[in-house]
Each structure stands twice: as structure tokens, then as C-alpha cells.
Amino acid sequence: QVQVVESGGGSVQSGGSLRLSCAASGSRFSVNAMGWHRQAPGKQRELVAVITAAGWTNYADSVKGRFTISTDNSKSTVYLQMESLKPEDTAVYYCNADVTFKETGPTFRYWGQGTQVSVSS
């Protein structure tokens, strides 16, 4: 099993910044990729950003140039630096860790509990 825990949400005014953190922990796993999704009230969960173990990143068009995803040396902690926040960024942000337990085994996705980000105009 893998535990995924997010932190760093909060409330800011439009134009402000926040940094989200997410740590995956457990035993005997390798991280293939970690990412951030978000879900606003009444909307479907959407991908915000992803980073692979090799360092490849991808962003939703709506956050390109404003958000930056990064990891630490362990690759099991991921950060989301959010700049120039807009009211439409308001959502619950969920971290996911895509991991394998064997070198050639299947990939499993684990989710965190979510952290609220609220941006006021």
C-alpha cells in the first residue's frame, strides 16, 4: 500500500501564490509519475499537471505559464507552485502517485485526500 498526503492549500486573493506539496510513502514501490488534478463544484475532475520519474512534465492549457510542477530527489514528493492565481483556479486539488511494486509489474494509482484552494477576486 501507498499513502499519499497533500498539504499547502488555503485561501488567497486573485494574483496571489500558493505552493502545494504531496508525499507518497509506503514500502517497496517505485514512482512512475506523480500529478495534480482538481475538481471544482459541479465540475469533473481535471488534470492540472503531471511529472514522470524521468522528469517529463505536462500541464493543462489553463495553467501553463502560471503553475510549475517539480519533485525532490526521492521522486516521491511532488510540489505544485501556483502563481498568478485566478478565481477559476478555486477547487479541491488532488495529488496522485502512479507506482509499481515490481520492476515489470502493473502500475497502480493512489490518490490523496485533497486540499482546498480558494481564490477570491
Buried b / exposed e over 19-50, threshold 16 CB at 10 Å, is ebbbbbeeeebebbbbbbbbeeeeeeeeebbb
pLDDT at 103: 77
pLDDT at 74: 80
User: Rounded CA gap, 20 and 81, in Å?
Assistant: 6
Of all residues in the chain, what percent carry a pLDDT higher than 70? Answer: 100
pLDDT digits (tens, 9 = 90+) for 81-101: 999 999 999 999 999 999 999
pLDDT digits (tens, 9 = 90+) for 23-61: 999 988 999 999 999 999 999 999 999 999 999 999 999
Answer yes or no: are the C-beta atoms of 8 and 78 closer than 8 Å: no
pLDDT at 104: 77
pLDDT at 27: 84
pLDDT at 73 over 80: no
Q: Write phi, then psi, for 17 (nearest 5 degrees).
A: -130, 150
pLDDT at 105: 84
